[in-house]
Amino acid sequence: MKHINIEIKAKCNNQGKIRSILNSLNADFKGVDHQIDTYFEVNEGRLKLREGNIENYLIYYKRGNQKGPKQSNVILFEITRNSSLKDILINSLKVLAVVDKKREIYFIENVKFHIDVVKVLGNFIEIEAIDKSGKIGKEKLLKQCKRYLKSFGIPEKDLIEGSYSDLLLKK
């Protein structure tokens, strides 16, 4: 499934505040997922295998690194847990990084929120405004991200440019 999203990732020192705001907005809580994301070296973009209790995907995406809202062009391929795909990928591609995180997943309409605790890195919030149909458009997605960024009171200094794998590779 191909889609675009506009996303924001930020350090988050007050996850309880974010959780309270999401609850006050009647966000749909999908659960807590323990996810292992294995990133592989590819010629262009990023490729990761996500293994979790809720979400299991092979994910390819292209996204520039910049603080604040950024567009991702995403291709998701849903996989079954414990498939042999991981063995195939590990034996055929170079592993760049492995991200181990506990993720709370919430939705408000087409906007997905992640409250993450990432091993080695700390606490984060992600906002992803998703357009699966191509009918919402980048401008509305951007407005949605900015609205929630403001609602959560996330300071610009806490915004993250890249992915968790980038942060791990810098350590």
Task: Quote the CA–CA distance of 106 and 29 in Å, as a whole number.
Answer: 4
Task: CATH number of the domain at 139, please.
Answer: 2.40.320.10
Query: pTM of the full predicted structure?
Result: 0.92
> What is the per-residue burial (b if ≥16 Cβ within 10 Å, else e) of 16-35?
eebbeebeeeebeeeeebeb
* Residues in contact with 102: Cβ distance below 8 Å, sequence separation at least 6, in sequence order: 32, 33, 34, 35, 116, 117
- Give residue-wise pLDDT tens across range 22-71: 999 999 999 999 999 999 999 999 999 999 999 999 999 998 777 778 88
The one-letter amino acid code at 79 reads I
pLDDT band at 10 (very low <50, low <70, confident <90, very high): very high
Q: How many structural domains are present in the chain?
A: 1
Task: Quote the CA–CA distance of 65 and 62 in Å, as a whole number.
Answer: 10
Query: What is the token pair recorded at 157?
Result: 């200094």
Domain that holds residue 142: 2-170
Q: Report pLDDT for 28.
A: 98
Comparing C-alpha atoms, which of 114, 112, 111 is closest to residue 99? 114
Task: Quote the CA–CA distance of 38 and 52 in Å, as a whole number.
Answer: 11
- Give residue-wise pLDDT tens across range 134-161: 899 999 999 999 999 999 999 999 999 8
DSSP string of 32-98, one letter each residue:
EEEEEEEEE--SSSEEEEEE-SS--EEEEEEE---SS-EEEEEEEEE--TT-THHHHHHHHS-EEEE
